[in-house]
Amino acid sequence: MVNAKVMKILDSKKIMVLVSLLGLYLLSAGSSWALFSFLRGEPSINSESGKQTGSRIDPGLPKTEECPINGRMFSKPEREIWEDRRPATIMVENHADARPPSGLSSADVVYEAVAEGGITRFLAVFYCGASAMDVRVAPIRSVRVYYIDWASEYGKKPIFVHIGGANNICNNCPGGVKPSGQVAREVDAFRVLQTLGWRLPKGNDFDGGTNVGYPIIVRDQYRLGDKAAWEHSVVGYTDKIFEEAKVRGFGYKNENGKPWLDDFQSWRFIDDKPTNSDTINEISFGFWSDKNDYDVTWKYDKEKNDYKRVNGGKDYVDYETKEQLSVKNVVIQFVKEKGPVDKEGHMVYTTIGEGKALIFQNGGVTEATWKKSSQTARTKFFEKAGKEIGFVRGPIWIEEVPAGNDIKY
């Protein structure tokens, strides 16, 4: 009996020791995680709005790493994050009823062109600028063929996010195809995506209407507080998009271990150098003459050496940051406009070939020529003497303006 009692006491002591050690471990681990989170600047969440209010990367770290997309300098921890990914190109709408958008301030490059009826839409490229936090991007909208051509410049199979697009599918039509003339073949975005090999069940084409959903892409009709129309309610989250891409085999490297950068041509980049000559303080233009809500003005801020966006006569802000969108480079790329080419009113804009351009940076302007030799080739911009233009390190906004439109500056 004595031996049994002694054994029970010893077993109890062992258990107490183990519990104590476990408690110390958990306390230590919790403290370490708290310290790690503090040093990393983990994003905090506003309990009322549910929005992120911070960064997971200490913003005070040295900016020593060049972004291959726009030349902006970032910290080493940010580079470590983006070098586990490939670019995400996301269709974002600009309908007046859907403003302000979410997430565009974190995009590295933004393309703006008319989607239909004089209403513009964006293709936003997220890579380096989306490293510091999980960016909420909205409203995500449908695709047109010319946006695919610009997305094709970011490696062989960039992540391409949208919800639907111009297509010839009809569930209630004979043979499942729309009548002749309803959608022109040249604007059938689904056909182009299939030809590229992107539109597969688990491909790099993320279509919120068919092959990707919660929690990567969701519906939120109350993003802006009041209930929005259904078509303005699609929201995406960059961390979840990048995670799903890696699951599908579209991370930094492909299945053969080849980095996506091997198929990417970067632009030239230059440092800030405000002009010493006459400063251009304002750039303004319209896409269609009868669509004033989509007229654009870029106002130059000499102190920060950047350009702030005004759209439809109002400051254009990012809903997540509540700050006016600003960029280092504004590119006016003149493109040929054709259309409407079918009964649904689709337009066609030139993406391949060459044309004129105006490059606004450092408070000045350069008359230029743009060239793109094929769908997947990089669009390059050249001075009159033939030298490739360098972009000031930072966000780049490319305005696809119909050739012949007046640009005031």
Q: What's the alpha-carbon Rg for the chain, to the nearest Å?
A: 25
Q: What is the largest CA-CA distance in the chain?
A: 103
Quick check: 365 and 280 in contact, CB under 8 A?
yes
Antiparallel, parallel or unpaired: β 136-137 and 234-237? antiparallel
Quick check: 373 and 305 in contact, CB under 8 A?
no
Three-state DSSP class for 13?
helix
pLDDT of res. 255: 87
pLDDT of res. 344: 96
Antiparallel, parallel or unpaired: β 268-270 and 282-285? unpaired
pLDDT of res. 39: 31
Q: Are residues 251 and 273 in the same domain?
A: no
The pLDDT tens digits for 235-260 are: 999 999 999 999 999 999 998 999 99
Alpha carbons 328 and 153: distance in angstroms, whole number: 21
Q: Are residues 117 and 230 in the same domain?
A: yes
Q: Are residues 208 and 302 in the same domain?
A: no
Q: Are residues 169 and 282 in the same domain?
A: no
Q: Are residues 73 and 192 in the same domain?
A: yes
Q: Are residues 319 and 351 in the same domain?
A: yes
Ranges of the chain with pLDDT below 70: 1-54
Euclidean distance between the first and the last CA atom of the chain, given in angstroms as a whole number: 100
CATH number at residue 295: 3.50.90.10
Question: For residue 350, is it within any domain?
Answer: yes
Alpha carbons 71 and 76: distance in angstroms, whole number: 14
Looking at 230, 265, 300, which one is the last position of a domain?
Answer: 265
For CA atoms 275, 276, 277, 278, the dihedral sign is positive
Looking at 265, 281, 309, which one is the last position of a domain?
Answer: 265
The pLDDT tens digits for 275-293 are: 888 899 999 999 999 999 9
Question: For residue 57, is it within any domain?
Answer: no
Question: For residue 107, is it within any domain?
Answer: yes
Q: Are residues 275 and 360 in the same domain?
A: yes
Q: How many CA atoms lie within 13 A of 30 on its CB side?
A: 6
Q: Are residues 151 and 92 in the same domain?
A: yes
pLDDT of res. 68: 98
Question: For residue 104, is it within any domain?
Answer: yes
Q: Can you give the pTM of this predicted structure?
A: 0.88
Alpha carbons 120 and 112: distance in angstroms, whole number: 6
pLDDT of res. 146: 98
Residue range(s) defining the domain that contains residue 280: 269-402
Q: Are residues 123 and 257 in the same domain?
A: yes
Q: Are residues 213 and 244 in the same domain?
A: yes
Q: Are residues 321 and 367 in the same domain?
A: yes
pLDDT of res. 10: 38
Looking at 265, 293, 328, which one is the last position of a domain?
Answer: 265
Question: For residue 18, is it within any domain?
Answer: no
Q: How far is CA 243 from CA 53, 83, 86, 134, 203, in A?
A: 22, 13, 11, 11, 14
